[in-house]
Amino acid sequence: MQKIGASTSSADALGEFTEGNPAAGVAATLLKASWLNAVQRELVNLVLAAGLTLDATDDSQVLKAIQALQSWSKLTGKPNTISGFGITDAFTKTEVSSAIQVAIAALVGAAPATLDAINELAAAIGNDPNFAVTMANLMDGKANKATTLGGYGITDAYTTGQIAAKILEGFFVPQGTASLIGGFKAAGAADLYVGSSKVLAVTPEAFKGALANETYRGVAEVATQAETDAGVLDTHIVTPKKLKANLAGFLSDQLSPSAGAQIVVTHNLGYVPTESSMELVWECVVAQGGWVPGAFVRQESWVHSTASTALTRGFYIYGETTTQVTVGCADGALWQLPTKTTGTGFNLTFANWRLRLRIKP
């Protein structure tokens, strides 16, 4: 749409029509074809947009077009949500669905999947509309709770009173009357070794006295770790744990010695290792003297001592306990090992070797 001022300079300052004023030298507004065509196109477009066909004999088409364009179907840019229309007193589809699911979840609760529907509940009670009455009738036919054989109608068992009477009558006493205990003859240790009687009663005393040996089965005591280590007793049994501790021995992690220093090694064997069971070995970590990494060479120049002393030559071991021993390195010693191929001694470089403590079982 445009004002007349867009097509002529004879419009007023507002771009509108003026009749002019000859006395004041103001000319009247000239009507230009371009402006008239613009107005005509605006009106034609309005009629066509309403779906009407131009009719030169109908002077009410603009009115009809406006009336037609007011219908809901002709409006464009319409919102399609309740929030788009500003409606606040209604639920959206999502809100309604969520509310329904919450209500269903509250109704179902913690019911298992096989009982969370009405038809499943009905099937579970046998589709019986009178389920409560049916169950009440079944409960009426149950046996009453009792505390005696007679209360339950049991006839093929003895009561405690009947058993006591039978014992007094000698019903359960086998042949022989020696050492009767509550109507039974007591077995001795010798009877347990033989193991042929089915009518003798075993007392705790007799059971304890029947010690196992190479010939007969019986009771055996479990040896302590000290007894296992000593290896003297022949009447005790050894558990796998104590046997493993006695057989496995111990090999320490790699130790990095230095002159005049001591290293505490934890073995946790559970016993104090003997002098003859301990030895030190060198493990090669960098090739030297023909030895390659991973090779072990036994350390021969060590002296066992019961106390730490810097006067000891070579390596010394002391302070043995059930969990630890201490390895010491003498001051200023010159360490040599044999060359692998010739046996000729070479000066050991500490950086190329690690020491390990081995405790033999």
Q: Which residue has the higher pLDDT, 204 or 280?
A: 280
Rounded mean pLDDT of 222-234? Answer: 78
Rounded mean pLDDT of 276-280? Answer: 86
Q: Which residue has the higher pLDDT, 334 or 76?
A: 76
Sketch the domain layout of the chain as residue ranges. 252-359
Rounded mean pLDDT of 332-338? Answer: 71
Q: Is 50 left (phi over 0), alpha (psi -120 to 50) or beta?
A: alpha
CA dihedral over 104, 105, 107, 110, signed as positive or negative: positive
Comparing 59-63, 74-78, 298-302, the range with the smallest average pLDDT is 298-302
Confidence at 15, pLDDT banded by 50, 70, 90: confident
CA dihedral over 299, 304, 310, 312, signed as positive or negative: negative
Q: Which stretch, 144-153, 230-239, 263-272, 306-315, has highest mean pLDDT?
A: 263-272
Rounded mean pLDDT of 207-226? Answer: 72
What pLDDT digit, counting tens, does each position of 119-173 carry?
A: 888 888 889 889 888 888 888 777 677 888 888 788 888 888 877 776 655 444 4
pLDDT of 292 strictly over 90? yes
What pLDDT digit, counting tens, does each position of 62-109 carry?
A: 999 888 887 776 667 778 888 887 888 888 888 889 988 888 888 877
CB 50 within 8 A of CB 74: yes
Q: Tell me, what's the pLDDT at 172?
A: 43
Sheet holding 278-284: strands in order across? Answer: 250-251, 353-359, 278-284, 296-298
Q: Tell me, what's the pLDDT at 61?
A: 92
Q: Tell me, what's the pLDDT at 32?
A: 87
pTM comes to 0.34
Helix or strand holding residue 328 (H, E)? strand 324-329
Indicate the length of the chain as a whole number. 361
Q: What's the Rg (C-alpha) of the chain? A: 56
What pLDDT digit, counting tens, does each position of 152-165 carry?
A: 788 888 888 877 77
Listed residue (173, 218, 175) closest to 193, CA to CA: 218
